[in-house]
Amino acid sequence: MQTSSQDIAATATEFGISTRGAYNQLYMRGWSFFEQCLATPWSPTTPDGVINLGVAENSLMHNQIVKFIEQNTQVDPISQLTYGNGPRGSPRLQRALASFLNRKFSPLEPAKSDDIIVMAGVTPVIDALTWALCNEGEGIIIPQPYYTAFATDIPGRARGVIIPATFQDIEGYKGFDDVFDAEMNVQALETALSNAESKGVKAKGLMLVNPHNPLGRCYPPETIRAIAGFCQAHNLHLISDEIYAQSIYNNPDATDVVPFTSALALDLPIDTQKLHVAYGASKDFCANGLRLGMLHTRNRGLMGAMASNAMLGWPPYLVQDIWAAMLEDTDYTDEFLGKNRELLGESYKVVTDFLREQGVGYYGNSNAGMFLWIDLRRHLVGKKEGGQPPELRVGKLSPGDLEKYLEREQHIWKVLGENKILLAMGSVFASEELGWFRMTFSASRPALEVGLERLKKVFDALKRSQL
């Protein structure tokens, strides 16, 4: 992203704000767009509304969640309308989360409530974690492509630096499957660390998103072990974001995929003081709006540092106890998660059948999450240019070609918006290659069906267009 120190200084002067505030106002306003375009979401009563297949929201079990909340919410003024036990989390939810981790994540050492801090989503967790681990200008290594909001979570307030680990220049790289290969990861991480050091950026940790976002696949245990070994060798913290841990579905066409394995379940070659696992209610429990996340860590110093700022990301006890009630009802939780996995698999099939009918490629070795990584590269090339994608790797393009193809990727996104349907551009996920988009398939079935109708119109329009 190109930034201008003159623009930052001018904005700071104009509004009387800090330079960091001016920087964020100019360059970190991702939600401003969504506030506008999602003001009128599609529903049966607003058929002209926007259908959002760009943000990772799961609506498949909303009716069940609503019913549970309505039947199980009771207000206790003593514990829920006061400060309670403070900002580190409702003791009830901490106990329920520890039990849930022990049942579903199979940790080698049982999780305890004292190991858990609760915040208003995983975004505040990552923000607080970065603030606690990194001095300003120090970095977190993340394999590419990676979750778009890390570009806000890490530098936005804590002023940490994202250190991208690239794969496509590694000798022998063949495709996205290699992103999950142990040896390929070690090579990518070593190169990323070396590049950061050459720029004077000190790495303090590594962020692993397992299952992967946006590729929708689980890391094999041997790769997690290799990454942990890399972290130990270089005195880095390993942060495992496992927010999609229970959103695993059956993909009969996938090859060599593995079930989810938590970093807590493995005997990893890393100091336990440097292993931290994030989780939240948003994805597996279809409840982005509850704004609940947690970090499991056995590092008491880190826990204390994060707790010192916990008031800045303190979710209401009433909301915390809603999630606690779900987790305490183990029969309900097991049934809910099982049904969610079944519905995810069904929606995956609906969308992949549609994409094949439209001749649109996608990364097919996925079995987790609620999205697909779809290939629209051919639409970045005009018919006068032969219609075949050229070299679209960001690191290989000249500045002029990079600008040209980014504009064409944005053109596709604009056409989608004009047809009131959202996908997410691959470039916002730090994709190494332009022309990929992330498509969420966990909208309600009525919304998904209308969305696919709109997508067909978009694909037809792109086929007809002359860039």
Residue-wise pLDDT for 121-139, tens only, equals 999 999 999 999 999 999 9
Instruction: Please answer whether residues 227 and 259 qualify as being in contact, where contact means their C-beta atoms are separated by less than 8 angstroms.
Output: no
Mean of pLDDT over the chain: 92
Q: Return the percent helix, strand and coil in the chain, to nearest 5.
A: 50, 15, 40
User: How far, in Å, CA of 103 to CA of 94, rounded?
Assistant: 14
Collapse the DSSP code of 247 into the 3-class scheme (helix H, G, I; strand E, B; otherwise coil) and give the result: coil
Lowest mean pLDDT among 81-90, 110-119, 363-372, 432-441: 81-90
* Of residues 323, 444, 336, the one with CA closest to residue 69: 323
* Spatial distance between the Cα atoms of 345 and 423, rounded to a whole number of angstroms: 20
pLDDT band at 395 (very low <50, low <70, confident <90, very high): confident
Sheet arrangement for strand 361-362? 361-362, 371-375, 436-440, 424-425
Confidence bin at 199 (pLDDT 50/70/90): very high
Vertex 104: Cα angle to 98 and 110 (nearest 5): 45
Spatial separation of the C-alpha atoms in residues 217 and 293, rounded to whole Å: 21
Q: Name the nearest CA neighbour of 260 among 294, 227, 293, 220.
A: 220
List beta partners, residue 139.
Answer: 161, 203
Q: 322-336, 389-403, 405-419, 441-455: which has the minimum mean pLDDT?
A: 389-403
pTM: 0.94
User: Which range among 242-251, 258-267, 403-412 shows the weakest confidence by mean pLDDT?
Assistant: 403-412
Q: What is the pLDDT of residue 150?
A: 93
Pure H helices in 210-362? 221-233, 300-308, 317-328, 330-357
Of the candidate ranges 29-38, 98-107, 283-292, the one whose mean pLDDT is the lowest: 29-38
287 vs 447: CA distance, rounded Å: 18
pLDDT at 296: 98
Mean pLDDT of 12-31: 82
pLDDT at position 286, please? Answer: 93
Contacts of 15 (CB under 8 A, 6+ apart): 22, 25
The token pair that represents 257 in the structure block: 């995929």
Which pair of tokens denotes residue 210?
Answer: 């397992």
Least confident of 21-30, 51-60, 208-217, 349-358: 21-30
The pLDDT of residue 281: 96
CA–CA dist 125, 145 (Å, integer):
21
The pLDDT value recorded for residue 87 is 83
Question: What pLDDT is attached to residue 384?
Answer: 61
